[in-house]
């Protein structure tokens, strides 16, 4: 069998650079634990120099997982490297990822550096980082628009300085599979010492070629692929790691590659990332879309009935989907609920189970039938919930006025002094009125920039999930909540966003890789 392919996940770093996405520490840890179950080899947990909060998240992720290597991102300067050292330097199984642009357009327009200055800075920073980390990845940002000979020069220099992994990202999704293949082949042939290190690819999807380019790199000699779950990230996103994993497994006869990925964890991982980030999975999305294993054509249906392999190259079960029906009702006890979570592959702590069961009983009183998706949503909402809140939504009431306007009355618990504040607001609809009432109760002027409603399961009484994005001056955040009552979910999501907003500092996020 061919070389082992390592999976480097940057959902918590590059994925968080998706416009409108902001993950708190609990959410990052929750995703990281799911990535560990999936079999990811390397987790890029964040950009330590961005803020103290991001640095704390990186450390929390490294302390939460045991199998994956955890790395922090740094620009090619000592201050960024020191920030990663402070987050991870005393922990085992950690490393650093340093990057510097190498293309002419980046050198001249962004950095104002000569070729020699890029080489000197790269070498100096890798050598400095080697004092603290055994695992040092260096990335030639915008490598696919860089001169091949220069990439070899930089590579040789950083290898001598202590780099253990070299990454050649297609930062702007510009290259083609043929060009990327030639780039890796040239670098491998013309760089001294490269046989002793791991080569990595990092592809963006601006022209829809991220999967094709990543596979081309792996076939040309790369042994590590970088990307995000569901393909989120800057602009058009990164390569979707679940697609690479499914492709290498389904066509193992052709690619002859081994991975450490547990494909059966793909569905749970992608659903969790989608729910936490608020980015819906398109129904026609490869591998994980709702229609990936659906058949509408009569000819296709006939073939599948006779033999599923006629139109299905993968079994739904192989990537974690199941058609089994969950049978739970309002008379079911806590042990029955825990056992069902065990069957579905979820480990639930006792303290979380108590809270989830209370929510489950409330749900069972309001729904005729509870589905698998419902209890998974309850679990993920509880485990990713931020316990350090400033405000808790208590209750509301709504009036319909004669002029077709709505008036909302809300009560919010102020956790800082345990008081209850109330507010009144009028709007063109119930949600508008509720959000104005909340603003008034907290004496805030919040701008709602996005509002989405998703159905968690099926049926008229399905749990509704509300996802909102808000802004206040130069700060932005997001919030989400689930409830059978979509009005209540809307209020809870808005309060969640305000709580997050109060902890957000001015963004230092940059366009990286």
E strands in 68-134: 69-75, 94-101
pLDDT of amino acid 387 = 67
Burial of 79 (0-12, 13-18, 19+ CB in 10 A): exposed
Distances in Å between the Cα of 439 and the Cα atoms of 388, 401, 444, 453, 466 are: 20, 20, 5, 21, 18
What letter does residue 278 receive in the DSSP assignment?
T
The residue ranges of every structural domain in the chain are 6-277, 334-363+372-378, 391-501
Q: What is the 3-state secondary structure (H, E, C) of 17-72?
A: HCCCCCCCHHHHHHHHHHHHHHCCCEEEEEEHHHCHHHHHHHHHHHHHCCCCEEEE
Q: What distance in Å separates the CA atoms of residue 408 and residue 397, rounded to the nearest whole number?
A: 6
- Residue 358 has a CB neighbour count (10 Å cut-off) of 13
Tell me which CATH code domain 6-277 carries. 3.20.20.70
Give the fold, CATH level 3, of 391-501.
Double Stranded RNA Binding Domain (3.30.160)
Dig out the tokens for 265 from the structure.
């964890």
Q: What distance in Å separates the CA atoms of residue 190 and residue 355, rounded to the nearest whole number?
A: 59
pLDDT of amino acid 320 = 86
pLDDT tens figures, 260-299: 999 999 999 999 999 899 899 998 999 998 888 876 565 7
Give the pairing type, strands 391-400 and 198-203: unpaired
Q: Which of 134, 1, 129, 18 is nearest to 73 (CA)?
A: 129
Dig out the tokens for 69 from the structure.
């290597």
pLDDT of amino acid 172 = 98
The dihedrals phi and psi of 406, each to the nearest 5 degrees, come to -120, 145
Distances in Å between the Cα of 291 and the Cα atoms of 20, 274, 276, 294 are: 26, 16, 21, 5
| pLDDT < 50: residue spans in the chain | 1, 324-325, 505-512
Distances in Å between the Cα of 190 and the Cα atoms of 131, 148, 152, 264, 409 are: 28, 9, 7, 40, 71
E strands in 193-266: 198-203, 224-227
């Amino acid at each position: 069998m061919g070389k082992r392919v390592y999976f480097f996940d940057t959902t918590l770093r590059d994925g968080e650079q998706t416009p409108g996405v902001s993950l708190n520490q609990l959410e990052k840890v929750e995703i990281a634990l799911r990535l560990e179950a999936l079999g990811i080899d390397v987790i890029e947990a964040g950009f330590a120099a961005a803020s103290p909060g991001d640095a704390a998240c990186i450390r929390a992720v490294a302390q939460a997982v045991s199998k994956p290597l955890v790395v922090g991102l740094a620009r090619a300067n000592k201050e960024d490297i020191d920030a990663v050292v402070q987050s991870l330097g005393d922990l085992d199984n950690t490393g650093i990822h340093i990057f510097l642009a190498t293309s002419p357009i980046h050198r001249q327009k962004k950095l104002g550096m000569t070729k020699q200055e890029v080489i000197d800075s790269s070498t100096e920073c890798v050598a400095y980082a080697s004092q603290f980390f055994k695992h040092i990845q260096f990335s030639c940002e915008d490598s696919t628009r860089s001169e091949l000979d220069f990439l070899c020069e930089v590579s040789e220099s950083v290898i001598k300085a202590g780099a253990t992994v070299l990454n050649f990202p297609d930062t702007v999704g510009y290259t083609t599979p043929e060009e990327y293949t030639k780039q890796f082949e040239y670098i491998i042939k013309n760089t001294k010492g490269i046989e002793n290190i791991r080569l990595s690819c990092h592809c963006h999807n601006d022209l829809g070629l991220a999967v094709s380019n990543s596979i081309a790199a792996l076939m040309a000699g790369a042994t590590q692929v970088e990307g995000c779950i569901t393909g989120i990230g800057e602009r058009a996103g990164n390569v979707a790691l679940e697609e690479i994993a499914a492709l290498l497994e389904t066509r193992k006869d052709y690619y002859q590659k081994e991975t450490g990925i547990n494909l059966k964890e793909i569905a749970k991982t992608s659903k969790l990332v989608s729910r936490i980030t608020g980015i819906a999975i398109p129904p026609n999305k490869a591998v994980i879309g709702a229609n990936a294993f659906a058949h509408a054509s009569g000819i296709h249906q006939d073939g599948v009935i006779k033999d599923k392999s006629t139109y299905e190259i993968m079994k739904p079960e192989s990537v974690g989907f199941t058609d089994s029906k969950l049978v739970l009702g309002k008379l079911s006890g806590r042990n029955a609920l825990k056992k069902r979570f065990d069957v579905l592959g979820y480990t639930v702590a006792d303290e979380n189970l108590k809270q989830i069961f209370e929510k489950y009983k409330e749900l069972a009183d309001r729904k005729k039938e509870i589905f698998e998706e419902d209890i998974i949503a309850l679990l993920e909402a509880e485990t990713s919930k931020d316990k350090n809140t400033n405000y808790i939504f208590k209750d509301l009431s709504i009036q319909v006025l004669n002029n077709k306007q709505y008036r909302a009355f809300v009560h919010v618990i102020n956790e800082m002094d345990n008081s209850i504040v109330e507010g009144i607001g009028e709007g063109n609809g119930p949600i508008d009125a509720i959000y104005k009432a909340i603003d008034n109760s907290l004496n805030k002027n919040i701008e709602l920039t996005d509002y989405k409603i998703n159905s968690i399961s099926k049926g008229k009484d399905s749990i509704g999930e509300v996802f909102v994005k808000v802004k206040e001056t130069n700060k932005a955040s997001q919030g989400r909540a689930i409830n059978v009552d979509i009005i209540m979910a809307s209020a809870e999501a808005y309060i969640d966003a305000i709580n997050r907003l109060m902890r957000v500092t001015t963004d230092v996020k940059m366009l990286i890789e």
